[in-house]
Amino acid sequence: MIKKFLTTEVMSVFFILGTTVSFAADTLSESEVKYAKILRDKALKSDLAYSILESLTTEVGPRMAGTPGDERGVIWAEKKFKELGFDKVYKEPVTFDRWTRGIEQAEIISPFPQNIMITALGNSIGTGEEGIRAPIVHFETFDDLTKAEAGDVKGKIVFISYKMGKTRDGSDYGKAVQARSKGASVAGEKGAKAIVIRSIGTDSDRLPHTGNMNYLENVPKIPAAAMSNPDADLLLNMLKRGSVELGLKMTSSPGKPYTSYNVIGEIKGSEKPEEVIVIGGHLDSWDLGTGAVDDGAGVAITMAAAKLIAEGKRPKRTIRVVLWAAEEIGLIGARAYAKAHKDEIKQHITGAESDFGAGPIWSFDWSSTNEEEPIVDQLADILKPLGVEKGKAKATGGPDLWPLRALGMSTFSLRQDGTDYFDLHHTANDTLDKVDPIHLAQNVAVYTVFAYSVAQVDGDFGFDNKY
């Protein structure tokens, strides 16, 4: 999952909330409810998602946008959809500038020489082979940096030490991540030589968290990196004793344009095949781990849910599983999809993306002006035995649905417990062993119920004509 500079297009999502029309959806018949419950219980016993995830992490592993792993991921996804018997499997091009990581090293030069563990932030420029050496200027928060005098920052390496708080909904990410996404431009504008932030993560492992950053136009570009939480603690202890000089070497660099693909598999609807329910996750990952949690889990959960539905009676609408490309570097695949499909936006009935790890789903939100919708209550009733509560009329659908949401499409948010998500997020520790197969199956059960129900029920989930 990314959060970054929000473009106008994406920001508009937040402003249209409240203008969405209410559901025209009918409710499920008694037999449809009964069938949804059968699907739910079947999914809960299935290990299909875990087996898909084991396959992706073992046979592909890291798949950062523009790398050989990305290419292998696309081939894997097409093959897997076909193996699972999806009715239609295809891919759509997504073009972006690739970025390469290169070497990344940092050391405290004085007063107490030690190496520290850093990783370059995605999109960062390098330092050059000769590296950078400069004193550290410390800010507790991104806000403090914005308020700093340029004279205090010029010629130094900025260190922001804010530690992200741990919550079920990841609610502190928005505050914490500013240091990563915008810190380099703010520091660069004030004349800093580089920025090295405390990782945006809630763990205490010696593994730094990468993630995307962006440069503002007309501001000097400076290298940007993150250090692990224990290294940030160490640096703070040194700074208590006086000034600290840091050495930094990064050979990261942007590269030439690269074309990857959104990979799509469909389970064709029995009555209204042209109407689609969009579920999915993003196929790309960062390069440090094997992308099991971010977002192999989303890929596996949604592929498995559609496959389990396909094994039984086809619902009326088509279920389209979209595995988005290049999410981590700025929702590039999601934007390409929205652009390619904008003329069919009204056939995109509703959808949900799974992109918050592999923790159990504990609540679901919908997008409507109404806090009461009969189909929502029906869903809540079917999902209750899975430990899922009825949430609120405030869904945004997951990052890769934002561009579609901005075009007026309805979304649901099937909300996962993300308490441990930011322990692993964008680190080398994002590996298969972190995924609990029981939690993964619970996710599949929820997606199965959701996708079947919204594909089956007559009427729609609201559409905002303004967009």
Q: Does 297 bind a second copy (CB under 8 A)?
A: no
The piece of 90-98, 230-238, 360-368, 455-463 that touches a second copy (CB under 8 A) is: 230-238
Q: Among 118, 158, 226, 428, which residue sits at the site for a second copy (rule: CB under 8 A)?
A: 428
Chain residues 377-396 in contact with a second copy, contact rule CB under 8 A: none
Give the Cα separation of 275 and 320 in Å (integer): 10
- 102 vs 230, beta carbon nearer a second copy: 230
Instruction: Number of residues interacting with a second copy: please give it, by CB under 8 A.
Output: 33
Provide the CB-side half-sphere exposure for 184 (13 A, CA).
27
Among positions 20, 27, 57, 396, the unique one binding a second copy when judged by CB under 8 A: 57
Instruction: Say which residue the tokens 């004030």 belong to.
Output: 190
Tokens of 381: 């009733």
CB proximity list for 372: less than 8 A, separation 6 or greater: none
Identify residues 432-461 at the interface with a second copy (CB under 8 A): 432-434
Q: Does 119 bind a second copy (CB under 8 A)?
A: no
Stretch in the footprint of a second copy (CB under 8 A) among 188-196, 203-211, 409-417, 444-452? 203-211
The residue from 275, 327, 353, 373 that is catalytic is 327
Binder of a second copy out of 429, 443, 453, 456 (CB under 8 A):
429
- Nearer Cβ to a second copy, position 289 or 398? 289
Judged by CB under 8 A, which of 24, 59, 171, 346 binds a second copy? Answer: 59
Q: Give yes or no for residue 233 binding a second copy (CB under 8 A).
A: yes
Contact 204, 230 (CB under 8 A): yes
- Active-site residue, 327 included: yes
- Pick from 47, 172, 205, 420 the residue near a second copy by CB under 8 A: 205
CA distance to 128, 235, 400, 417, 440, per residue, from 202 (Å):
31, 17, 24, 14, 22
Cβ-count burial of 337 within 10 angstroms (0-12 exposed, 13-18 middle, 19+ buried)?
buried
Please give the Cα distance from 327 to 270 (Å, whole number): 31
Closest CA to 198 of 298, 307, 116: 116
Interacting span for a second copy (CB under 8 A) from 364-372, 406-414, 426-434, 448-456: 426-434
71 in contact with a second copy (CB under 8 A):
no
Residue from the set 74, 160, 207, 278 that interacts with a second copy by CB under 8 A: 207
- List, as one string, the DSSP characters of 2-53: ---PPPHHHHHHHHHTTTSPPP------HHHHHHHHHHHHHHHH--HHHHHH
Question: Which of 229, 252, 318, 443 contacts a second copy by CB under 8 A?
Answer: 229
**d(C-alpha 287, C-alpha 252), whole Å:** 13
Q: Does 68 bind a second copy (CB under 8 A)?
A: yes
Instruction: Kindly indicate which of the ranges 56-64, 136-144, 414-422, 436-444 contains the residues binding a second copy, using the contact rule CB under 8 A.
Output: 56-64
Question: Looking at 206, 392, 394, 466, which residue binds a second copy (CB under 8 A)?
Answer: 206
- Is position 250 an interface residue for a second copy (rule: CB under 8 A)? no
Distance CA 350, CA 340 (A): 17
245 binds a second copy (CB under 8 A): no
| Residues in region 170-199 near a second copy by CB under 8 A | none
Nearest-approach distance from CB 223 to a second copy, in angstroms: 23
Among 19, 22, 95, 204, binds a second copy (CB under 8 A): 204
Buried b (16+ CB within 10 A) or exposed e, 88-102: ebebeebebebbebe
Please, what is the angle between helix 48-59 and helix 297-310, to 10°? 140
Is residue 337 within 8 Å of residue 398, measured between CB atoms?
no
Write down the least CB distance from residue 440 to a second copy, Å.
Answer: 16
Q: Is 211 in the site for a second copy (CB under 8 A)?
A: no
Measured from the CB atom, is 421 or 463 closer to a second copy? 421
Q: Which two tokens stand for residue 156?
A: 């130094």
- Range 152-157 contact pairs with CB under 8 angstroms and sequence separation of 24 or more: 153/187, 153/190, 153/191, 153/192, 154/190, 154/191, 154/192, 155/191, 155/192, 155/193, 156/192, 156/193, 157/132, 157/192, 157/193, 157/194, 157/195, 157/196, 157/246, 157/248
Asked if residue 285 binds a second copy (CB under 8 A), the reply is no
Q: Supply the minimum distance, in Å, between the C-beta of residue 98 and a second copy.
A: 18
Sites of contact with a second copy (CB under 8 A): 54, 57-62, 68, 112-115, 117, 204-207, 229-230, 233-234, 237-238, 241, 289-290, 427-429, 431-434
Q: Which residues are annotated as catalytic?
A: 327
